[in-house]
A and B are shown apart, each in its own frame.
Chain A
Amino acid sequence: MNTIKISLPSSRSALGAGPFGAMIQKEMADHLRSWRFLLLLGLLVLTCLGSMYAALSSFSSLPPSELAKMEFFFLKLFSISDGSLPSYAIFIGFLGPLLGIALGFDAINSEHNNGTLSRLLSQPIYRDYVLHAKFLAALAISTILIFSLTIVVSGWGLLALGIPPSADEVLRILMFTLLTIAYISLWINLAILFSIVFRQTSASALGSLSVWLFFSVFFNMLIDVVAKHLAPKQFLSEAQAVAFQNFVLNLLRFNPIHLFNEATNIILMPSVRSTGALTMEQISGTLPGALPVGQSLLMIGPQLTGLFASTIVLFALGYFLFMRREVRSR
């Protein structure tokens, strides 16, 4: 009797095929084993609890007549708050960068400081594998985290509200989740770039955090000052006022945090039809109502492009610096 041996590709060998798979596996395992990951997980769970509490208590404080008139009930879970704590969307917008920075700030320099980088690069792997593996592992971890958080919030909301989300709402929630992940990947790339530039892990952490602080606090103040100086002091027509308003808004859009917030608002609030100022002329004759998902998506096109473009620029810069560097032992 002939025995025929059939070798099935096991799931492990499928992922672990080749050195690149092994590297991603190792990076992800490193993240999952670290204390840092547990801390982040704890922080995100707290976020989820806090914002859910805020959203649900704001629902219960509204009179039934208000509630009956409310549209997109389920979606509000993510964007509403009773004022005691920020809403889920704001929390995530705040913690997302922190998550990205925490996952990337020591990507390259810790390898260098441990003396493992030169050993790694003397193996038969392409040099960009190192960078790709670091980024993809961090991206995978944050994708899993954000998706599970979204599912937990939705599930809890479903239990608490008893109203299932409409297809439109499900799509919007999915879009919001994907948007958040794209936003986090921007910060991962920034952190990896700093980890290439700085030899010290503390310097790269501080560097990325200060960029984040600059954009979340000081950038808008700066634009405010600039706008005040540029503002026309004399007679102003309505069109001029709107144009000036839009100009200031465009300045604000150099801030990735602002881009993310705009996109989030449009996705989570279907009634938002414009991000900028409109003249009376432009809005005359419109009926207040919600936009379909496709239209909202169309509106955040520029914001998404901006976020993706800056992500790619950061990645390319890191790539350029890393590929050209001469790696010596520590």
Chain B
Amino acid sequence: MQNTVIELKELTRRYGDFTAVRSLNLSVHKGEIFGLLGPNGAGKSTTILMMLGLTEPSSGKALVAGLDPARNPLEVKRRVGYLPEDVGFYDNRTGLENLLYTGRLNGIPEKEAQPRAHNLLKKVGLSDAAHKKTSTYSRGMRQRLGLADVLMKQPEIIILDEPTSGIDPQGLRFFLDLLRTLRKEEGLTILFSSHHLQQVEQVCDRVGLFVQGQLRACGSLQELSEQWLKRPNGALEEVYNCILAHQLETEKL
């Protein structure tokens, strides 16, 4: 049974003459990890902003958890956790205080927020640093705190924008494992945007490939491999190169 939680229909966003996202059709099912893959500037972030109602689409429509984020952003943001690229915290506060503030913004009573924040800090491996100011945190710690922050509101869907950039390999493995556990244990739907082929290949059930504001291919790795490489079990990198080559050819014509 596949329940669609994010559905984009002909979603388009223009900035003047430049079209950042062009007629995007995409659906993400409940409980899956969906990888949004594409080079920098392909329109991944813009798509995510439209899903959250942080920017309005020029045309087309997005449905997130059955709601239109352009019309009902508050309800969408209550159900969707968003970890922006290069997330920031209030540096003069501790990690715990930052989480509790997010809890307050979500209207979570103090009595529930305290244990929840401690739990999450444990889960992301930051219990020892809970009472340190976030200005002392390393990049990897910040990303993990960001994940805890996103989970504070107990979302149905989490959207991660380039969450792994600038983390060391060890931290990366921990982060990706964490995502898998979350999906398994809490049934979260995770949308993961990245330009790292390998990471996407490791964790994602299905992948959407973005090039120049357009979705070039979408499906599970198996499907993509059969569709583009005409053989099963191809690596994502091969598929990606094949698609890019195809793109170049069509541009020449």
Binding site for B on A (CB under 8 A): 16, 18-19, 22-23, 26, 30, 33, 114-116, 118-126, 326-330
Contacts and interface: CB of A to CB of B under 8 A. Distances in A.
Given A26-B101, A125-B105, A327-B54, A119 B87 contact: yes
Given A22-B105, A122-B54, A116 B77 contact: no
Given A30-B92, A330-B88, A18 B107 contact: yes
25 contacts: A16-B104, A19-B106, A22-B105, A26-B90, A114-B88, A114-B89, A114-B90, A115-B84, A115-B88, A119-B84, A119-B149, A120-B105, A121-B54, A122-B52, A122-B82, A123-B102, A123-B105, A124-B75, A124-B153, A126-B74, A326-B49, A327-B54, A329-B45, A329-B85, A330-B86
Interface in B93-135: 101-102, 104-107
Contacts of A123: 77, 102, 105-106, 153
A26 B91 CA distance: 13
Contacts of A22: 101, 104-105
Q: Contact size class for B?
A: 20 to 34
Given A33-B92, A114-B91, A116-B88, A19 B104 contact: yes
Contacts of B173: none
Contacts of B85: 329
Q: Which 7 A-B pairs have the closest CB atoms?
A: A115-B88, A22-B104, A122-B82, A329-B84, A124-B78, A114-B88, A123-B105
Given A30-B92, A124-B74, A23 B84 contact: no
Interface in B146-196: 146, 149, 153, 161
A64 to B, nearest CB: 56
Contacts of B107: 18-19, 124
A124 B106 contact: yes
Nearest to B100: A22
A115 B86 contact: yes
B55 interface: yes
Given A114-B89, A123-B77, A328-B45, 19 more contacts: A19-B104, A19-B106, A26-B90, A26-B101, A115-B84, A115-B86, A116-B89, A119-B149, A122-B52, A122-B80, A122-B82, A123-B106, A124-B78, A124-B153, A125-B74, A125-B77, A125-B105, A327-B54, A330-B88
Contacts of A329: 45, 84-87, 161
A118 B54 contact: yes
Nearest to B80: A122
B88 A119 contact: yes
A114 B91 CA distance: 8
A295 B235 CA distance: 85
Contacts of B49: 326, 328
A329 B162 CA distance: 11
Contacts of B77: 122-125
A233 to B, nearest CB: 54
Interface string B43-78: 001000100101100000000000000000011011
B54 A19 contact: no
B105 A116 contact: no
Contacts of B102: 123
B17 to A, nearest CB: 17
B246 to A, nearest CB: 30
Contacts of B101: 22, 26
Contacts of A19: 104-107
B55 A326 contact: yes
Most A CB contacts (10 A, CB to CB) among B55, B84, B92, B161 go to B84
Contacts of A124: 74-75, 77-78, 105-107, 153
B136 to A, nearest CB: 15
A118 B82 CA distance: 9
Contacts of B87: 115, 119, 329
A37 to B, nearest CB: 13
A126 B72 CA distance: 11
A116 B91 CA distance: 10
A134 B221 CA distance: 48
Contacts of B105: 19, 22-23, 120, 123-125
A140 to B, nearest CB: 18
Contacts of A30: 90, 92
A116 B102 CA distance: 11
Contacts of B52: 122
B49 to A, nearest CB: 7
A327 B149 CA distance: 19
Nearest to A325: B55
